[in-house]
Structure 1
Amino acid sequence: MIAAGGAYGARLARDGDSWFPERWTLDGPEPYAVPLPGNQPEEPGTEVQPMADGRVLIRRTADGRHAFSLLYPTGPGTGELPLGAVECPDPGTRLHLLPPAPCGQRAYALAVGRRSTDVWLVAGGGFGPEHLAEIPGRCSGGVWLDGTGRMLALDRETGGRTKAVVVDLERGGEVSPLLQIAAESDDRLLLADPDSGLLLVSSDAPAPGEPRLGWGVLGSTLPVRFPESLHPPDLTLTPFASQPGQALVPESCAVAFRIDGPSGTWVGVWRPADRRLHQLAPPEGWLAGSGLWTAEGVLRLPYATRAEPCGVAPLTPPPAAPPSPAPAHPEPGSPASCAPRPVPLQQAPLGRLVTK
């Protein structure tokens, strides 16, 4: 897990049979790790998340009680600031941390119940965990749509269908529709880049029962495209990072994918304008599914091996292809051949997100 801004990372590391939090410093000349062990080993399912100030948020669970603390190094030891707890007495409720907020100063959690989902502010508030919203339906995912941590996209399941919605955290958790490609399709948001407006989605609209990856543009009325390059046979693609600084040029925004296949796990890089997926070898010990882009187009991948327990490998993908004239006939996966509906990014509140 990498913090907003990319200065710090955190993971649950292992020493024999014991687990402990570990903070990585990534913005110096050489990356280095600082162990943050507590008074006893952590459970394997414990979540950690780095904050922009270098502290590490930890979530510990016992008997439906989720306790949150901030950890920080204090010389040879570990300092701990308890933040409070969230009670989930219903055994059917599942609570987990949302991806790091863009501001880097707050952290949020999602508690998914049997018929509704609660959004909690668990770090960065004034008086411990704060309940922000209750959303009808079971929600999953979690993608930030702006640079401040106000607009949160979730995939909500209601009536047997899953659609991406937007939760406005500054308006009492007001919910607005985000993605409906077809009435009977399951439409999920996987990644959003606030700079360029690029969206990566998953939907079974092109082929019912077979989710495919597609891309659209935040605030655009153009249909979602489902290129064949994002549907390689026998491989699973999961986007994990987008190139920052590509203001209003979504076609040139590079996206990094984790690729899982019969022979293992490796890295993919794709740009809408290239119409192809570059498949690249990761460093040995890559912490699969983690990494961040620089504005210059270098993908930095954290890894850990016995010889080098804290490392970051730079990966420079092939440059973007020069723009080419529009084809006379639509390529497979283009809007004309898929016939999905546009991404209905509602006038309020999402119209404000694309105003520069």
Structure 2
Amino acid sequence: MTALAIETAARDKAVADNDGTDGADGPKDAEGAEPPAGAGRPGITITADGTYGARLAGTGDALFPERWTLDGPEPYAVPLPLDQPEEPEAQVLPLADGRVLICRRVAERHTLSLLYPTGPATGEVALGAVTAEELTLLPPSPDGIRAYALAPGERSSCIWLVAGGAGGPEHIADVTGHCSGGAWLDRTGRLLALDRRQPDGGPVKTVAVDLARGGEVTPLLQITEDSDDRLLLADADSGLLLVRSNAPCPGQDLLGWGVLGSARPVRFPRSLRLPDALVTPFAVQPGQVLMPESCAVALRIDGAAGSWLGVWRPDERTLHHMASPRGWLTGSGTWSRDGVLQLPCATGSMPCQVVRTQAPPLAVPSAETYPPGSATEPAQPEAAGGEPCEGSVSPVVCRPVPLQQAPLTGRDARG
């Protein structure tokens, strides 16, 4: 059943009962440790076109893959159990043809199979295995046909094509350094962004990997020489990038935004800085070509009281706090082009539903809110208290150079 809801609750009323289980960790104190890039695995993985989703359903030791169909008039779920339950660390990823890729760990090997419904039973096609200490499925490819995985290492990380190739798992590229994250920069599944730390240590920087050129690597995000700069989310239509960096305030990770190939600076809005809460973007409104500032961004907010929703646009200085619908599969959802946020939910009485929430209307900036000559945010990055950070640097300029050569670099932009 599909529910329609419009939520505009304030933050102190925004935490609702949540029956969904996503296995994600809550916010952690980053002091003295490497800051987290996000809030953990989302409750369900959704294809890039929003047609299918896949998750591990069940409770306790009785876990099984489940496929959701999301593009029809009513969403519905199909369980895909096999002869024995799945381990909690198993990973699932939906493909655009309705099959579900599953990755299981067996000692130092990661076996891969495609699952699909066959009447009352579940069909399985074994694809092969990858031998690696760690293997992580990357976000669904934009083409919906292929699936990739990352095997990170201290000195080198491997990218594997694990589904959609000519045969079994195929080694695509080696990237020097320890890589994590993963975001697609285009609509074809050619350009992949990864967060990389060099083998000799140093800060984390985001690089772009061209899979059509044998894994050719180019710098993508470098705000300052010593800052940790991670790409959290990218929208191919508008070029909007959501980043997390400690460049404005060393020792404190801040959420910011920029535009791929733009000469405008990367901004770190004060509205996205919440004390004792971790803010993580999970969906960007599509179809906003050449209008990144008006894109609605859905945010997962994790605090001591639980998790709730946020909606924000670069054009605004306001973060809209919204109540999570009951049973929200935390950290997952998609936008429609007209600004409707679609949130998958599962409860005991409604095991498969989508709650649709209309984004708050775009506020029209006033002369008082935006003084003449000002940008959408102050020119100097500011600390959470509103004062400039001691030793802070000017925002980064994103050089508009060809993506294949140097997609996005950062330098001081004085004055």
Give me the TM-score of the superposition, normalised by structure 1.
Answer: 0.94
Verify: 1:56 aligned to 2:96, yes or no.
Answer: no
How far has the Cα of 1:17 moved from its partner? 2.7
2 CA distance for matches of 1:345 and 1:137?
26
Verify: 1:137 aligned to 2:177, yes or no.
Answer: yes
* 1:176-233 CA distance string (max 9 Å, x none): 0011111110101011111011110111010001010111001012110111011122
Partner of 2:46: helix, strand, or coil? coil
Verify: 1:222 aligned to 2:277, yes or no.
Answer: no
Verify: 1:86 aligned to 2:130, yes or no.
Answer: yes
Which amino acid in 1 is paired with 2:353? Answer: G
How far has the Cα of 1:346 moved from its partner? 4.7
Verify: 1:155 aligned to 2:195, yes or no.
Answer: yes
Verify: 1:243 aligned to 2:285, yes or no.
Answer: yes
How far has the Cα of 1:347 moved from its partner? 2.7
CA change 1:348–1:217 in 2 (3 A) is closer
Q: Which residue of 1 aligns with 2:64?
A: 20
Q: Which residue of 1 aligns with 2:307?
A: 265
2 CA distance for matches of 1:178 and 1:346?
11
Give me the TM-score of the superposition, normalised by structure 2.
Answer: 0.81
* 1:73-112 CA distance string (max 9 Å, x none): 0000001111111112xxxx32110000111000000001
Moved more, 40-49 or 11-20: 11-20
CA contact (8 A) 2:91 2:102 kept: yes
Q: Which residue of 2 aligns with 1:74?
A: 118
Moved more, 332-341 or 177-186: 332-341
How many residue pairs get aligned? The number is: 349
1 CA distance for matches of 2:232 and 2:352?
28
How far has the Cα of 1:328 moved from its partner? 3.8
Which amino acid in 1 is paired with 2:294? Answer: S
Which amino acid in 2 is paired with 1:81? Answer: V
* 1:32-79 CA distance string (max 9 Å, x none): 110000121110100000111110000011011111111000000001
Q: Which residue of 1 aligns with 2:33?
A: none
CA change 1:112–1:50 in 2 (3 A) is same
Q: Which residue of 1 aligns with 2:147?
A: 107
Moved more, 153-162 or 102-111: 153-162
Verify: 1:194 aligned to 2:236, yes or no.
Answer: yes
How far has the Cα of 1:234 moved from its partner? 1.7
Which amino acid in 1 is paired with 2:116? Answer: Y
1 CA distance for matches of 2:69 and 2:376?
44
Moved more, 321-330 or 4-13: 321-330
Say what the alpha-carbon RMSD is for the aligned residues: 1.8
Q: Which runs of 5+ in 1 are unaligned?
A: none
Task: Work out which of the residue numbers 114, 119, 122 in structure 1 matches 2:159.
Answer: 119
Task: Work out which of the residue numbers 308, 311, 321 in structure 1 matches 2:350.
Answer: 308
Question: Which structure has the higher relative contact order (CA within 8 Å, separation 6+)?
Answer: 2
2 CA distance for matches of 1:350 and 1:6?
31
Q: Which runs of 5+ in 2 are unaligned?
A: 1-44, 382-392, 409-415
* 1:101-143 CA distance string (max 9 Å, x none): 1110000000011211000000000011110111110001000
Which amino acid in 2 is paired with 1:246? Answer: Q
1 CA distance for matches of 2:377 and 2:362?
20
Partner of 1:272: helix, strand, or coil? coil
Verify: 1:172 aligned to 2:214, yes or no.
Answer: yes
How far has the Cα of 1:304 moved from its partner? 0.6
CA contact (8 A) 2:261 2:403 kept: no
Task: Work out which of the residue numbers 204, 227, 231 in structure 1 matches 2:273.
Answer: 231
CA change 1:113–1:167 in 2 (3 A) is same
